[in-house]
A and B are shown apart, each in its own frame.
Chain A
Amino acid sequence: MTDLARIRNFAIVAHIDHGKSTLADRLIERCGALDPREMTSQVLDSMDIERERGITIKAQTVRLVYEARDGETYVLNLVDTPGHVDFSYEVSRSLRACEGAILLVDATQGVEAQTLANAYQAIDADLEILPVLNKIDLPAADPERVRRQIEDIIGLDAEDALLISAKTGEGVDALLEAIVRRLPPPRGEAEAPLRALVVDSWYDPYVGVVTLVRVKDGTLRRGQRIRFMGTGAVYTVDRVGVFTPKPREVTDLGPGEIGFLTAGIKEIAHARVGDTVTDDRRPAPEPLPGFQPSHPVVFCGIFPVDTKDYDQLRESLAKLRLNDASFVYEPETSAALGLGFRCGFLGLLHLEIVQERLEREFGLDLVITAPSVVYRVHLTDGTVRELHNPADYPDPTRIVKIEEPYIRATILVPERYLGAVLELCEQRRGEQVELTWVGSRAMVVYLLPLNEVVYDFYDRLKSVSRGYASFDYQMEGYRESDLVKLRILVNGEPVESLSMIVHRRMAEQRGRAMCEKLKELIPRQLFEVRIQAAIGSRIVASERVRALRKDVTAKCYGGDVTRKRKLLERQKEGKKRMRQVGKVEIPQEAFLAALKVG
């Protein structure tokens, strides 16, 4: 157990690419936590995908031992946090384990949208914030300007902001001293009944569920009978340890300490994030204030390309869910795509990461349908139904009103691209809340329907601003909207898996785009194929695929028979992957392309 005064728990919050992982590596190296030969770049990003994409998905912690200039030895617990907007919920729960935060800003780039969002989260969590300017070794660094930005935009005193280069190591020693001197130690009662906050938990195939906790009061020991106060589950602790960043067992964890426990827990639901662990024999009277579990906001269908892979997909989703409680799924049947699942995610990046893991780790070939959001439908019988699949859209005569989720988007953009960004936001039914200037950049705040954001907003924003705009958002609750179900008909037959819920104003445009896309994708048949987009019975767009009238008539003699037969057999194989809509055969590739993300 470590003396409270010798502990500092802190996180690093930053915009993506501002050098958070590099700084973490440098701190680990300075404190000698790993041998030089064990230092691979970006130690904390443990998953392949995290390392490749340079992003952090799951919170990681590392316990560092630092000998300060005052001659004392301190335990520094660094809690790494995800940098992407989709995972802001994970940021907030990581911050709950800390007393301080390093606000890391790239001295060449300045304050960006995620800098703001994360800084506000740290302020909300009552953390002491240490502004740090990174990349001062670069010629383009302008610490003075960035210091002013921190003061003007975020409202933090940046007078004593530290100047460092995580890459070269310059200023890192001073930063370690500042962590010890300027961040407060944790508080807690060693003699009080055990109260430890579950910060994260994940499934490990060898030891079962591993639970990351922050002890507030009391002591957590091996052999102790513990109780999860929320679920009531009781277990005997078989291992207590810390990450250095390698897992290392310790005998106990005292107040202010961060570490892990294992207790032969088989179900991750028993070790819920935000729950409080207490001693079963001497329980605390009150749990710690928990936090709300995250809610999926973006939904899409995931189907196996080959129907034979359905069972494997189901097992793979179950395995993923063990480590990612924020991801939800339920079975779905599509006339076009067969058996699959409707899946919910925290955002588009989360969706992409899950897709990539399914394809890479489990070797599955997948069809991902266009993402949609959760609508609230108020029905004439007074009930409210959550709708995340256009197929479940109720009979319009029973609908009183529909609400859709909105976000509050913060965008920082250089002046020359402001016009284009405003135009994009207006096109996407945005409502301007704020427009202020930060030096030569504008900060615009918009209320935007989430539905308009999941539909290629990131890509468009990047393209209209040549990559210079930065973007972050928070959920902003539900608002009533004039939403309709846009159906796609092929020769009069509705194709349920292509239907979508859109704002009435966008319906015609979306319908036309879909019809045009399908016209390119549906091969010519022996008869004319009519593709229509409709709201109710009103056709808003239509296209035709003309009937095939003539093949190329070529020779076919004795030497051609085998080749021709094999060609036909291959076509028949291909036909099995065709989806039948009425008489029309549509290749699965066409659905895939029509439904695909972006």
Chain B
Amino acid sequence: MTTTAPATAAAACEAAALEGGFALYVHWPFCLHRCPYCDFNSHVRPRLPQEDFRRALLAELDRAGAETAGRTLDAVYFGGGTPSLMEPATVAAVLARTARWWRLPAEAEITLEANPTSAEAARFRDFRAAGVGRLSLGVQALDEAGLRLLGRRHTAAEALAALERAAAIFPRWSCDLITARPGQTEAGWRRELLRVAPLLGDHLSVYELTIEPGTPFHRLHREGRLVLPDEERRLRLAAVTAEVLGGLGFAPYEVSNWARPGGASRHNLVYWRSGDWVGLGPGAHGRLTLGGRRIATVRIRRPEAWLRAVAVRGSGEESREALTPREILLEGLLMGLRLAEGVSLARLERLAGLPVAAVVDTAALEGLVAAGDLVREGERLRATARGRARLDAVLAALLR
């Protein structure tokens, strides 16, 4: 094989991407109802077009598979919306079709998001049979007032029952909790964590409540009818989280994610490590490194429009843009510094083909290291716990 200089750079770039992993994300954009805080691409429809979706997802998969054929999948993730509303047969069909293009090793992580209502829990076994090895349950809160505030349709007891059932069926399971809710106290939060503690798997996501534009919470917040805890309270709640979860053997491997040893989400690590991922389904984003270029793909958001586009041209892709080297560095840093392990600057530079110094203010970097927000370890840069707690501000200071 003859190699020219550009081809070498392209190969280095692709290799750098794949060191971050390769994953498949499948978006299911339907929910039974919309939660007032959520700004995800989710829609409520009286009847779900199960058949059409299965066909369309497979068509998109074939299109994406053709350009990345031969790669090995580290993970597959069914997210939403509420993917536990999918027919297990669809999950099975998607997983089966991956074999046409990629290798899907037995140890690959296959996750499905689910709501902990009893109706959905009844189908857990079917999803397991379809090939799902890891369940991510949207528990969100473990007290009734919190669940009501968040507009959730399940009770705390249902959530615990669903976790118990997941533990019996799946090798791995995770759950999501929302903290820093209006009026939340440290004692109350501690009770919630302790209540769920016996049923935790190897992974837990803890998000602070954010107010997203266009949501009912946004309006309430603007009108002053929904008051978020101040920084002091959020710090104290975070201290409770760290104390309880630390005691249970969990470590904060990412800004909002906790895992027991070996329990980190392999799928999500692909994002944070700037690997490649294929995004299928309405509104899904993807990153593909092909021929030395890193491409950002976005699919059409509205389910009906996406279905039509796939029917007409075999893909619901709305845009496909090559990222500039600067953009690649920015994404690499903003994602990588979320991880406790930090980010390999050398790998980022191979991925972008540009020195990190092009986007990093060197003097600011020194300052942040001196202040204890960042640490340099050889060619790796990582944010300390203190730096990760205020990462938005650290990034704003670091980048020029």
Contact = CB atoms under 8 A, between A and B. Distances in A.
Interface of A: 524-527, 548-559, 561-562, 564-565, 568-569, 571-572, 575, 583
Contacts of B238: 550, 553
Nearest to B271: A558
Contacts of A561: 271, 285, 287, 331, 334-335
Given A548-B390, A559-B279, A568-B395, 4 more contacts: A548-B231, A557-B271, A561-B285, A561-B287
B270 to A, nearest CB: 8
A572 B399 contact: yes
Contact of B392 (A527, A551, A558, A562): A551
Interface residue SS majority, chain A? loop
Interface of B: 25, 41, 180, 205-210, 231, 234-235, 238, 255-256, 268, 270-271, 277, 279, 283-287, 296, 298, 327, 330-331, 334-335, 338, 367-368, 371, 373, 388-397, 399-400
A552 B283 contact: no
A556 B272 CA distance: 9
Given A556-B255, A568-B399, A526 B373 contact: yes
Given A526-B373, A552-B210, A568-B399, A558 B330 contact: no
Given A553-B256, A583-B367, A562 B296 contact: yes
Contacts of B207: 553-555
A526 B286 contact: no
Given A549-B389, A561-B271, A568-B330, A554 B256 contact: yes
B285 A551 contact: no
Contacts of A558: 25, 270-271, 277, 279, 284-287
Contacts of A525: 393
Nearest to A583: B367
Contacts of A550: 231, 234-235, 238, 389-390
A551 B180 CA distance: 12
Contacts of B235: 549-550
Contact of B234 (A524, A526, A552, A555): A552
A565 B395 CA distance: 11
Contacts of B210: 552, 554
A556 B335 contact: yes
Nearest to B179: A553
14 contacts: A549-B235, A549-B389, A550-B235, A550-B390, A551-B390, A552-B209, A552-B210, A553-B238, A554-B208, A554-B256, A559-B283, A561-B287, A568-B399, A572-B400
A574 to B, nearest CB: 9
Contacts of B206: 553
A551 B391 contact: yes
A552 to B, nearest CB: 5
Contacts of B330: 565, 568-569
B284 A551 contact: no
Contacts of A555: 205, 207, 256
Contacts of B395: 568
Nearest to A556: B338
A2 B395 CA distance: 80
A558 B397 CA distance: 24
Contacts of B393: 524-526, 548, 551
Contacts of A553: 206-208, 238, 255-256, 388-389, 391
Nearest to B211: A552
A526 B334 contact: no
Nearest to B371: A526
A127 to B, nearest CB: 61
Pick the most buried of B25, B238, B368, B397: most chain A CB atoms within 10 A of its CB. Answer: B397
Given A553-B256, A556-B255, A564 B334 contact: yes
A575 B396 contact: yes
Contacts of B390: 526, 548-551
A525 B331 CA distance: 23
